[in-house]
A = this chain, B = another copy of it.
Amino acid sequence: MYTYKYPHPAVTTDSVIFGFDGSSINILLIERGLEPYKETWALPGGFLRMDETVEEGAIRELCEETNIKDVYLEQFHVFSEVNRDPRERVLTVAFFALVSKNDFRVIAGDDASKAQWYEWNHLPPLAFDHSEIISMARKKLQEKLRVSPIAFKLLDNEFKMDELQQIYELIHEKKYDRRNFLRKMEASGYLIKKEQEDNRICGMKLPDVMKDAVSTRTLYVYSFDEEAFAKASTSKEWRKYPFDF
């Protein structure tokens, strides 16, 4: 037992984990095994330990409950309504996280766990105030995307421009013109454009010399130049944001 001179609240972290499956954005939920809200879907999260920061706690819980590592994680709000948890006074530090398409596939295929992706417009009933947490997470994600190109983090290292556009459209709930989107993204200067490598036929990679004979069209994939971006965005000159659609 732990005793204190003054009452202390319990502190948890909860994470809203976004994943992109190629056509829609999904949120990872866990089915609760214990009361309260037993067998109800909830955000992954749990109690903070005394020897870790909230960031470390969120990462630990994520790893324990869903096996996700190396995820982009950012705290966005503290939820502290007095009776949000029926057991005792609990405040939660809420995070949002973006997992890459690769990791998305891994989690989606893991039948053993109680974790499951839900399309973010068709969520089941949720425990506690987790619905509210999710709506704020969506809002914060939108705001963040206007200010930082985090959409990349929902994709593989190399991605097609079309996928990137889809993510922007889903998050901002708005359609963009394909050509304009492409032009603006390329103009940003932080995308590395490559000819698509894997022109394969029946799973065999072709030698370069044969490529032109087989496919006359060149397809492109992009990757994001994190370093160049990080350097530029810390400079004083940086003001206008080229990814603000």
Contacts and interface: CB of A to CB of B under 8 A. Distances in A.
> A10, A78, A174 — which one has the most chain B CB atoms within 10 A of its CB?
A78
B54 A11 contact: no
Contacts of A1: 3-5
A48 B9 contact: yes
Nearest to A172: B239
A129 to B, nearest CB: 12
Nearest to A55: B80
A168 to B, nearest CB: 12
A56 to B, nearest CB: 9
Interface string A86-110: 0001010100000000000000000
Given A8-B8, A11-B11, A82 B50 contact: yes
Contact of A10 (B8, B54, B78): B8
A82 B174 contact: no
Query: Is chain A's binding surface mostly helix, strand, loop or mixed?
Result: loop
Interface string A42-83: 000001101111110000000000000000000101101110
Contacts of A93: 78, 80
Contacts of A6: 2, 10, 47
A234 to B, nearest CB: 11
Given A8-B2, A143-B147, A146-B147, A53 B75 contact: no
A239 B8 contact: no
A6 B88 CA distance: 12
Interface string A208-245: 00000000000000000000000000001001000001
Given A4-B10, A6-B47, A8-B11, 15 more contacts: A1-B3, A1-B4, A2-B5, A2-B8, A3-B3, A8-B10, A9-B11, A9-B50, A48-B80, A50-B82, A51-B82, A53-B80, A53-B82, A75-B78, A173-B236
20 contacts: A1-B3, A2-B3, A2-B4, A2-B7, A2-B8, A3-B3, A4-B8, A8-B8, A8-B9, A8-B10, A9-B50, A50-B82, A50-B89, A51-B82, A52-B82, A53-B81, A75-B77, A78-B78, A143-B147, A147-B147
